[in-house]
Structure 1
Amino acid sequence: MRLPFDVSPLRAILYNVDEYGFPENPEETRHALAERLESCRDPADDSPLYQLLTDVPRPDLQRLKTDAFRDIVEYSKTMKERLRRAREESSSAVENIEREIDVVDADPAIVIDLFLSYRAVKDWQKMVDLVAKMSPPLKQTILVQEQLGFALNRLGRHDDAERMLAEVIECHGPSSETNGILGRVYKDRWLKASEEQNPAGRGFLNMAIDAYLQGFESDWRDAYPGINAVTLMECSDPPDPRRNELMPVVAYAVKRRLASKRPDYWDYATELEVSVLSDKVEDAQSSLGMAVASVREPWEPETTANNIRMIREARENRGVECEWIKDIESNLMRTKP
């Protein structure tokens, strides 16, 4: 039996029916349907377009900015609200919600929100554990792979994080998000090596700068990797002269982001860092106020404060008075969402 021409390209399960319209072999039909549904959990490319023209870009929904996920993607408003309240309580509250759902078969948007909720409460291990429970298609998305690398790095598993993020870049090319996280991996390794007086530290610093630069150059609209590159150039000994060329580009990028959409925490934090690096005290105070008012997750101001601290310490080592920068750093460390 052949399907009608207008639906013949679609995958289907054929079965015979009796005079009442019921399957003649219901158990066999149910088994075939169950096998087909199981296979959908780990699909292969079945589009002739993608099979023949491998360079045609797929709809890249996984590249949606992680921080805007909850605002962009539609899913259960009840679950969204429950996860919001759980994030305000504790990791245990988030875990209680996880116990109620089947991670493999649940709405992928709910699973991603659960994943990012663990990030919000800084439970990096639960993030790693959750990925292992996800369906293969969801586990392989760029967003999940990036955030898994983020969590692994926070757990001190720098080698695993580096390997995972490098694979994402090899498969999908550099991006401001992936390279930004990879740059953070190298930056953490540089800081650790510096504390241990390990000569490898200089190499990790250069690798961090290169990763951030590659991310910024892949999309100049995203100033986040650019400002991180400039900050690390400022912390080099002696300061990397390339920062003088890069700073105006980064400053313009963040200016355009602030003007073209509803600004978020990272926009104001980047503007703050630009002002500190440029010694613009009043501008820095203004950006600080907006950044503090826009904090969503507790690790965000901590990350910015650490960058500000690095700038301050680098300049103090060169004999520059930085009391006003220390005040900004202190304000950030006291900030709660």
Structure 2
Amino acid sequence: MHKAKKNQKKMSQNNKKQVHHPDISNDVCPLPLPPRGAPPPTVYHTTRMAPTPSTSGSFDKTVIPGNARKLHVVIVIDQKVQKNLRVREMALKDVQKVADTLNVNLAKIDFDKLDFGETETLDLFYNADVALVDVTVTHQQPSLCYHIGVRESMGQSYNMILTYLAPDLEYHIMDALKKTHAHLPMIIYINSPECGMLQSYEKNGNEDDAKPPFARANSTTAKMTTFQNRLKSVLKSVQVEASAHSREKFMSDLRKAREITDGDQKNDFLDKMRTRLDNPDVLHPDTVSLMMLSYRDNQNYGGMIRLVDDLKRITDCVKVVDTPVIRYQYAFALNRRNKGGDRDLALNTVLSLIGGTTENEEKNGLLSPDVVCLAGRIYKDKFIASNYEDRDSLNSAIEWYRKAFEMSPLEYSGINLTTLLRASGEHFENNLEMQQIAVVLNSLLGRKGALQNLTEYWDVATYFEVSVLAENYQKACEAALMMVKLKPPVWYLKSTMENIKLINRCAATISPIEKEKQQFLFWSEFFMEATETDTDINCPRYPVLILELTKEFTPSYLTLNTEEGTVILSHVLETSQQKKIHQSEVKGIHRWHFTRTNIKAVTESKRDDRQLFLYVHENSDDFNLLFPTKAHCQK
């Protein structure tokens, strides 16, 4: 199974502390511990981990050059009022020179048209990336403040106030203005006849652009700079911030896909979101990675592959798709889709990714265990696809999972390594490595708390697999019920059941089927039905769970005879409803046979689309049935 969504949390926990091996009883983890006389288990060295490629979204935070669109800047500066007109004209020329230098689009807006509310002018002002507003003319300030406020209400936060520091400036008016827009940067300019250029004051270190007005001018430590240089430094930072804002908005909108439950609707939404990657400000390893994860969560592996293949054809995008996180996700998608040649291409991709990591980078934790585990996963899938005959792939899978577990002992690599060692013919009783892994898994699972308190699917699934490995079917059944209640995506269950099938196939000779084993076989069948979504439901008998009045689920089977119009419900175990009466056990009813005339009604549950209520005439209690999937429920 692949725990892409869990590994980052587990890595961060692993980074904080070395793995230790407390004495945890089998009530916590059903894997057997080594005998007391056995050599002490190896304590694997925990390396400093790089961000996991499946969750962090980026290995490289560098902005990809050469593909940013031009910044759209507007300036409102009066060119009609005669007072200080020449200085404002100089300021406008300086702004234009800065715009040309930074390669940004600059548009001049006439104050009268803005004040009048001309549609095109308002549209230009409100939708610009940056608004430079000159408030030198006092009587224009109320209107300008209003329009700045409108921009802010629309989420346009890049607004800057310009003003001329005239000898007769009315400071109290400017102070009032600054209090109204205290959060906005104010850039003052001064006419300096000696040098023939407008001057301003430098921003010192981490000093706030929105420092109280003219404090810099009155400071003895204030340093002069040209108005052009001051403006240029501010606009440069805005260029980067505006691009980051576009990416953040894209990722925020993309996360809304998680709220869509219908698979087709989600794919349509994702395809529309993908078109926004045409915006150079949005295209970045972070956004592409999140797009890939969104496709993955909907099992749209073709969408993941097409996205990368399309970006590869664009010269400016090669650096985006060549980042390790995208290459990792691309290999993952190829392995999952598994069309002709996909798996070999996936293997080549992940091996080249591992091979491109130097020994020094690996020692410093820059090679993620996720990448190493993916190599093991691909070889494991090749072994399974060969009908369990490709021993070379099995041995390669063991080696890669072993390497990942040595890098960072985590549940995912540990459970897969143990499963594959079991598949190769090893047993806990005779294999020291499996015993050592058992100690680590005991420790990791024990830290997470009791089974009934676990809320993450992969934690419960690991507990389930560990229980099956140890042939502790009672605990496996308890974990299976928790898995059903969590209602995981189908591909989660598929990953888990692949391991279960492998364990069952390669397990030692089974003793006579006891009731715990019988229940475990029911759960295996239940999950297999849930994962076979691509096949039609033609079998007349399938597993269901009956929700009792005690709020407990009873494993059962439903047999449907459409020709005779009958329904048969039967518990897996005849002792399911045993009741104690006068200190003696009396078997309760464990099998019901209903004809079409016995059934009053059938209604779907509003809480869970896998559940329905069966109302019958000849039974005092009605039945609340939970099926493997929604499709089974609607059958």
Alignment TM-score, normalising by the size of structure 1 = 0.69
Q: Please give the alpha-carbon distance, in whole angstroms, between the structure 2 residues aligned to 1:74 and 1:105.
A: 11
Partner of 1:121: 298
**Cα distance change of structure 1 residues 225 and 258 upon mapping to structure 2, 3 Å threshold:** farther
1:332 aligns with 2:524: no
Please tell me whether residue 106 in structure 1 is matched to residue 282 in structure 2: yes
Asked whether the equivalents of residues 250 and 282 of structure 2 are also in contact (C-alpha less than 8 Å), the reply is no
Match of 2:412 among 221, 224, 243: 224
The structure-2 alpha-carbon separation of the partners of 1:123 and 1:79, relative to structure 1 and needing over 3 Å to count, comes to closer
Distance 2:459 2:320 in 1: 28
Q: How does 1:1-337 map to 2 (within 5 A)?
A: 20=92, 21-24=94-97, 29-30=102-103, 76-82=251-257, 84-85=259-260, 88-90=263-265, 92-103=267-278, 105-106=281-282, 108=284, 109-133=286-310, 135-136=317-318, 138-156=320-338, 157-170=342-355, 171=357, 173=362, 174-194=367-387, 197=389, 201-220=390-409, 222-237=410-425, 239=427, 241=431, 242-257=433-448, 263-315=455-507, 318-320=509-511, 321=513, 323-333=518-528, 334=530
Answer whether contact 1:120 1:298 (CA < 8 A) is retained.
no
CA displacement at 1:190 relative to structure 2: 0.9
Q: Structure 1 CA distance, aligned partners of 2:496 and 2:475?
A: 16
Larger relative contact order, structure 1 or 2 (CA cutoff 8 Å, min sep 6): 2
Per-residue CA distance 1:217-237 (angstroms, 9 max, x = gap):
2112x2111100101111123
Q: 1:219 to 1:269 in 2, by over 3 A?
A: same
Report the Cα offset of residue 319 of structure 1.
4.7
Q: CA deviation at 1:24?
A: 4.0
* TM-fit CA distance, 1:298: 1.9
Q: Distance in 1 between matches of 2:250 and 2:274?
A: 19
- Deviation of 1:294 after TM superposition, in Å, equals 3.3
* Larger of the two Rg values belongs to structure: 2
What is the CA distance between 1:275 and its match in structure 2? 0.9
**Contact kept? 1:295, 1:336, Cα under 8 Å:** no
Q: Which residue of 2 aligns with 1:6?
A: none
Counterpart position of 2:134: none
What RMSD in Å do the two structures reach over aligned CA positions? 3.5
Give the Cα separation in 2 of the matches to 1:239 and 1:202.
Answer: 18
The amino acid of 1:234's aligned partner reads R
Instruction: Please list the CA deviations of residues 224-257 of structure 1 after superposition, one character each: whole Å capped at 9, or x if unmatched.
Output: 1110010111112355833233223223223324
What amino acid is the match of 1:97?
A: K
Closer, same or farther: CA 145–115 of 1 in aligned 2, 3 Å: same
Deviations 1:233-291 (A, max 9, x none): 111235583323322322322332458x9752111111111111112222212222233
Whichever residue aligns with residue 163 of structure 1, its letter is N
Distance in 1 between residues matched to 2:288 and 2:262, nearest whole Å:
14
CA 1:310–1:101 in structure 2 vs 1: closer, same or farther (change >3 Å)? same
Tell me which amino acid in the other structure corresponds to 1:125: G
Structure 2 CA distance, aligned partners of 1:29 and 1:98? 30
After superposing the two structures, state which structure 1 stretch, 280-289 or 130-139, moved more.
Answer: 130-139
- Which structure dedicates a bigger proportion of its chain to strand? 2
What secondary structure, in the 3-state scheme, does the structure 2 residue paired with 1:102 have? helix
Counterpart-to-counterpart distance in 2, 1:74 and 1:228: 38
Q: Is the 8 A contact 1:272 1:287 kept in 2?
A: yes
Return the offset for 1:324: 4.1
**Secondary structure of the structure 1 residue equivalent to 2:282:** coil
Letter in 1 for 2:368: S
Aligned mates of 1:288, 1:257 — CA distance in 2: 17
* Partner Cα distance (1:336, 1:179) in 2: 34
Q: Is the 8 A contact 1:216 1:225 kept in 2?
A: yes
Does the C-alpha gap of structure 1 residues 282 and 107 become closer, same or farther in structure 2, counting only changes over 3 Å? farther
Q: CA 1:319–1:150 in 2, change beyond 3 Å: closer, same or farther?
A: same
What percent of counterpart residues are identical? 23
Alpha-carbon offset, residue 167 of structure 1: 2.7
Which has a greater percent of helix?
1
Aligned partner letter, 2:397: A
The letter for the 1-side match of 2:256 is E
Number of residue pairs matched by the alignment? 275
Cα deviation, 1:69-122, whole Å, max 9, x if unaligned, reads xxxx99754432145417644564244323541255426555433211211222
Q: Secondary structure at the match of 2:521?
A: helix
Using the TM superposition, give the Cα deviation of residue 332 of structure 1 relative to its aligned residue in structure 2, in angstroms: 2.4
Change in Cα spacing, 1:22 to 1:224, as seen in structure 2 (3 Å) is same
Rounded Cα–Cα distance in structure 2 between residues aligned with 1:236 and 1:324: 27
Aligned equivalents of 2:446 and 2:310: distance in 1? 41
With over 3 angstroms needed to count, the CA separation of the structure-2 counterparts of 1:78 and 1:175, relative to structure 1, is closer
Q: CA deviation at 1:212?
A: 1.0
* SS of structure 1 residue aligned to 2:392: helix
Task: Give the 3-state SS of the residue equivalent to 1:23 in structure 2.
Answer: helix
- What TM-score do you get using the length of structure 2 for normalisation? 0.39
Give the aligned residue type for 1:327: F
1:132-167 deviation per Cα after TM superposition (whole angstroms, max 9, x unaligned):
455455434443222211111123322221222223
